[in-house]
Chain A
């Protein structure tokens, strides 16, 4: 069975600082990996996804993530965080490219201090 672990429940960074959110997965085949952001009152928004090819993927809002098969990781990064990035971030693994039947991690809440 597939699983996703996000070790950090809560992270606080200063505006302008760099950010890295960790995600480790367990999946028997080639994983389809996703990062979503959830803001209050908003639906989960897809930041980026990895299916194959270049292991460094670029997403929206200046986010990027790197797939490392040897470490079973798909960490999310942003070089300079903005106050508007404060939200809950979820890593997910799917069985196929349409992102159906996703398995989510428990989420990381990002707080940004000014």
Chain B
């Protein structure tokens, strides 16, 4: 089946630094990708919709200048957490829609971010 990868799987950084997380669709082209944030023992919260070749659409309450999204190609979307703070520590999950065959959302394995 379709595979979505994320890199890195785990990252630890100092407060004030920026961290980039990559999301790749490995065997299909994805014009639309999503970024979610998952807090411990909580649900996935949609942060933004990443559209290839255009600006991302952010959900209410998500700071677009804090969470920069770039969907530069049909197989890659990146999320950059700028000037990270401890409260940004979380599990970030991306997903991509494969429209062929009816459309299914495939999820990456997630990236654990810890900001010290």
A residues adjacent to B (C-beta < 8 A)? 4, 9, 36, 41-46, 90, 97-107
**Can you identify 13 A-B contacts, CB atoms within 8 angstroms?**
A41-B109, A43-B106, A43-B107, A44-B44, A44-B107, A46-B105, A97-B102, A98-B104, A99-B103, A99-B104, A100-B32, A104-B44, A106-B43
B residues adjacent to A (C-beta < 8 A)? 4, 9, 32, 34, 41-46, 49, 93, 95, 97, 99, 102-110
For A106, the closest partner residue in chain B by CB is B43
Are A43 and B109 in touch, CB under 8 angstroms?
Answer: yes
Q: Nearest Cβ distance between residue A26 and chain B, in whole angstroms?
A: 14
Are B43 and A43 in touch, CB under 8 angstroms?
Answer: no
A-B contact count (CB 8 A): 58
- A45→B42 CA distance, assembly (Å): 17
Q: Nearest Cβ distance between residue A32 and chain B, in whole angstroms?
A: 10
For A42, the closest partner residue in chain B by CB is B109
Q: Provided the pairs A44-B93, A44-B107 are in contact, do residues A98 and B43 lie with their beta carbons within 8 angstroms? A: no
Taking CB atoms, residues of chain B closer than 8 Å to A46 are 104-106
Q: Nearest Cβ distance between residue B8 and chain A, in whole angstroms?
A: 13
- A105→B42 CA distance, assembly (Å): 8
- A105→B16 CA distance, assembly (Å): 32
- A67→B104 CA distance, assembly (Å): 20
Q: Pick the contact of A100 from B45, B93, B97, B110 — CB < 8 Å?
A: B97
Q: Nearest Cβ distance between residue B105 and chain A, in whole angstroms?
A: 4
Taking CB atoms, residues of chain A closer than 8 Å to B9 are 41
Taking CB atoms, residues of chain B closer than 8 Å to A43 are 4, 93, 95, 106-110
Taking CB atoms, residues of chain A closer than 8 Å to B93 are 43-44
